[in-house]
Amino acid sequence: MVQGWVRKFCLSLPHTTEQVQWGNDLVFKTGGKMYVVGALEPSGIHLSFKCTPEEFAELVERPGIVPAPYLARAHWVALESPDALPRKELERLLRQAYQLVFDKLPKKTRTELSR
């Protein structure tokens, strides 16, 4: 389940919105594109997020981290438990997930969000 600090952290990033999707997932988006998905109910996946191809390869070698179902081809990883990563490292990766998605938004969308 999404921890309160994760929700607060994601919402502190500029232009972030949250939305419940697929019945029991809390999705954090920027410019309408998702960068973090968290479970609202206990499940085998605690949290999923986008990362770089290099970090994807490195992270999935670690215990408790797997390729995210349906999203692995886009370099998303999934944490099987809330303690799969130390908080500081997870904060860095969540900020990076946000930036990766924001940077890929159309220039017009980025400009509109920055007003």
CATH of domain 4-113: 3.90.1150.30
Q: How far apart are CA 46 and CA 6, in angstroms?
A: 11
Q: In terms of Cα–Cα distance, which of 72, 25, 60 is closest to 46?
A: 25
For residue 39, how many other CB atoms are within 10 A of its CB? 18
Domain boundaries, the chain: 4-113
Note whether 29 and 97 are within 8 A (CB).
no
Q: How far apart are CA 72 and CA 6, in angstroms?
A: 21
Token pair listed for 44: 């085998």
pLDDT in single tens digits along all 115 residues of the chain? 678 899 999 999 999 999 999 888 999 999 999 999 998 988 888 999 999 999 999 999 999 999 999 999 999 999 999 899 999 999 999 999 999 999 999 999 988 888 7
